[in-house]
Amino acid sequence: MTGRFRRLAETDRPAIRLTVDGAPIDALEGDTLMVAMLTAGDALRDSEFGAGAFEGHAGDGRRAGFCLMAACQDCWVWTAAGDRVRACSTMAQDGMAISTHQPEASWAAVT
Amino acid sequence: MGGSDMSGHRVIIIGAGPAGTRAAQTLVRAGLRPIVIDEGRRSGGQIYRRQPDNFTRPYSALYGTEAERARDVHATFDALIPHIDYRADTLVWNVADGHVWASCEGQTQAIPYDALIVCSGATDRLAPVPGWQAAGCYSLGGAQIALKAQGVAVGHRVLFLGTGPLLYLVASQYAKAGADVAAVLDTSALGLRLRAAGKLAAQPDLLWQGLRLTLDLKRRGIPVLTGIRPVEIHGHPHSGVAGITVARGGRTWRFDGDAVAMGWHLRPETQVADLARVPFAFDAATRQWLPVVDDDGRAGNAVYLAGDGARILGARCAEVTGELAAMAALADLGHVADADRRRALLAQKGDYVRFASGLAQAFPWPADMVAQVGDDTIVCRCESVTAATLRASVGAAHAQEANRAKAFSRVGMGRCQGRYCGNAAAEIIAAARAAPIESAGRLRGQAPVKPIPVALRRTDV
């Protein structure tokens, strides 16, 4: 899969590896989760709304974030612990396991 | 315990951009130890956002003509840290009964204040364009942050759409950094810029900077089109943006690209001020409701506003209004005011106000374009609500203002809480009723101002 984002500078940083939905991706130390995921792939998650507009998916298409300043909440992803985080304002860490789908039991897990 | 002076006055500053930094500096100079609450991990705000510690680009590469200002704002804040109670990575999600509710790492705290200085900054003002829900559409400010804070471009071939100084600045920063800039597409006609030149001359170097950016883009062979209307952002639900078609007069242009950086200047982030019960008034020049403050930033009830969170006057002016607001708070708490300094700051602010009115004239919000947006166009990106649904709520449910239309159509109810659809929704509602836009009202700020975890542990009791 080709990356959506293109690295233009600061490429001489130590490599880190994380997984997204179980698949390994390579990133660089200092990347946000969003940059790690979008230099390796082209989207962060599926839209949950607009049903029927996109065959085979619940919503109307893939989403890849929008504002990058923690205001739009279009970049939500989930950690292995079930915590919802904004990919734009969370730093990628070596060994992180990210899920692009909300864990089903997450609402019960927090109580 | 932070936030108090020798007489026990507790002052809280929300935000650590240029306004928050100068406000904190002013309070510390007067002997106070303010609490500074910053949603960011490090100070700087958005415009002077810092790159991670292991990045090496110099200030000149990151901030261009504003490098020295950025360096000074950062150095000032760093030197203040031992003298303030700095709470980084902390979200203010409510203000009620003289307390700020702040959350950090799953814990929340209600912090009392005697004075509250809100420096909440701005976000991009967005207009809905057919296809803008596709992956690969980003706000202009977001596209700039990608480059500044992470050294990446938001696409391999980037289209720039919208209006305002940021459109040209970010496009030019992208080109300079080696990105492929496909086109710069401005909805404002060039003639408006010429007519506003007198007001823009209030900041000659900023006017000159703007002219230079445009020339630089043209010199690089990048198409720069003014006075256009976006027809459609082309794309696919799976692979995202593929290009854009724009029109002017009877002519259309199509450009290929895999990203669109879009924005129509900026809008103040006013939710916190709203929750602090600051009054709002309609501003005809920018066609939005804005918090009411006096010249110094006083908003009543011990609340003060500074920076772009009060009025979009730019980063330079945010330093001025941050200091002014802190001086006003100090004066109201019984400290002796420096009348000469205040006069000098007010004079500087006056020039920025004149410049900002020039910008509003040169790069107007495309109200007609938004009001006439096609029924199929998605207005709310969060929940994929179309203009047709919003218009139907105005007709069938008699939703004559924004909050009622929100309840019926869900426009403004999604996860961004109306930040990116609110300005457009007001235009569409007003046009559907053939009523003036101010009658559509404004989306009221709601706590929490951003989504917070369900399980927050309260630690102040």
Question: Residue B152 is inside which H or E element, if any?
Answer: strand B152-153
Is residue B83 scored above 50 in pLDDT?
A: yes
Residue whose structure tokens are 């908003």: B299
Query: Which pLDDT score, from 0 to 100, does residue B151 have?
Result: 98
The pLDDT assigned to B224 comes to: 97
Which residues of chain A neighbour B15 with C-beta distances below 8 Å? none
Q: B450, A70: Cβ pair inside 8 Å?
A: yes
| Contact (CB<8Å) A66/B178 | no
Whether B321 is covered by a domain: the verdict is: yes
A109 pLDDT higher than 50: no
Q: Would the pLDDT of A58 be above 90?
A: no
Q: In whole angstroms, what is the distance from residue A77 CA to residue A83 CA? A: 8
Q: Encode pLDDT of B88-105 as tens digits.
A: 999 999 999 999 999 998
Query: Which ranges of B81-179 would DSSP assign to H, the alpha helix?
Result: 140-150, 165-176
Q: Are B228 and B246 in contact (CB under 8 A)?
A: yes
For position A106, what pLDDT does the model report? 45
Asked if B146 and B54 sit in the same domain, the reply is: no
Q: What share of chain A is helix, strand, coil (3-state, %, to 5)?
A: 15, 25, 60
Q: Are B285 and B360 spatial neighbours (Cβ–Cβ below 8 Å)?
A: yes
Considering the domain architecture, whether residues B135 and B260 belong to the same structural domain is answered as yes
CB B106 within 8 A of CB B348: no
| Domain shared by B254 and B243, yes or no | yes
Instruction: State ipTM.
Output: 0.93
pLDDT at position B5 is 58
Residue B344 in any domain: the answer is no
Segment B376-388 mean pLDDT: 92
Strand B137-139 relative to strand B259-264: parallel, antiparallel, unpaired? parallel
**How many CB atoms within 10 Å of residue B97?**
7
Q: Which of residues 359-398 of B touch A (CB under 8 A)?
A: 378, 381-385
Question: Mind listing the domains of chain A with CATH numbers?
Answer: 15-49+57-103 (3.10.20.740)
- CB contact (8 A) between residue A61 and residue B135: yes
Average pLDDT over residues B170-188: 97
- Preceding omega of B230 cis (within 30 degrees of 0): no
Scan residues 181-220 of B and list those with Cβ closer than 8 Å to A: none
At residue B139, does pLDDT exceed 50? yes
Q: What is the pLDDT of residue B243?
A: 98
Share of chain A above pLDDT 70, in %: 85
Q: Is there a domain that residue B1 lies in?
A: no
Query: How many structural domains compose chain B?
Result: 3
pLDDT per residue as tens digits for the range B319-344: 999 999 999 999 999 999 899 999 99
- Tell me if B179 and A5 make a contact (CB, 8 A cut-off): no
- Grade residue A55 by pLDDT with cuts at 50, 70 and 90: low
The sign of the CA dihedral B296, B301, B307, B312 is negative
Same domain, B200 and B231: yes
pLDDT at A110 over 60: no
Residue of B nearest to A59 (CA): B384
Residue B69 placed within a domain: yes
Residue with tokens 């809280």: B12
CB pairs under 8 A between A and B: 157
What's the pLDDT tens digit per position in B282-314? 999 999 999 999 999 999 999 999 999 999 999
Alpha carbons A68 and B288: distance in angstroms, whole number:
24
* DSSP 8-state symbol, B56: -
Q: With residue B208 as reference, give the H or E element that holds it.
A: helix B204-219
Residue B16 confidence (pLDDT): 98
Residue B203: other Cβ atoms inside 10 A: 21
Cβ–Cβ under 8 Å, residues A41 and A4: yes
Burial of B269 (0-12, 13-18, 19+ CB in 10 A): buried
Q: What is the CATH number of the domain that holds B21?
A: 3.50.50.60
Q: What is the pTM of this model?
A: 0.95
Residue B461, domain member (yes or no)? no
**Which chain B residues contact residue A74 at CB under 8 A?**
381-382, 415-416
Host domain of residue B434: 367-440
Does the beta carbon of B258 lie under 8 angstroms from any beta carbon of chain A? yes
Residues of B in contact with A71 (CB under 8 A): 123, 269, 416, 419-420, 450
Return mean pLDDT, chain B.
94
Interval B402-452: pLDDT, tens: 888 888 888 887 889 899 999 999 999 999 989 999 988 888 888 888 888
Whether pLDDT at A57 is above 90: no
- For residues B37 and B133, membership in a common domain is answered with no
Check pLDDT > 90 for residue B56: yes
User: What's B290's DSSP letter?
Assistant: E
> Could you give the count of Cα atoms lying within 13 Å of A8 in the half-sphere of its Cβ?
26
Coil, strand or helix at B283: strand
Using CA atoms, how far residue A58 sits from A49, A53, A62, B254, B458, in Å, is: 7, 9, 10, 31, 37
In terms of domains, do B210 and B138 share one?
A: yes
Residues B236, B149 share a domain: yes
B241 and B155 fall within a common domain: yes
Q: In this structure, how many other beta carbons lie within 10 angstroms of the beta carbon of residue A53?
A: 15
Residue with tokens 């082209």: A42
Q: Which residue of A has its CA nearest to B454?
A: A110
| Contacts for B425 with CB less than 8 Å, ≥ 6 apart | B379, B380, B390, B402, B405, B406, B411, B412, B418, B440, B443
Query: Hey, what amino acid is at B88?
Result: A
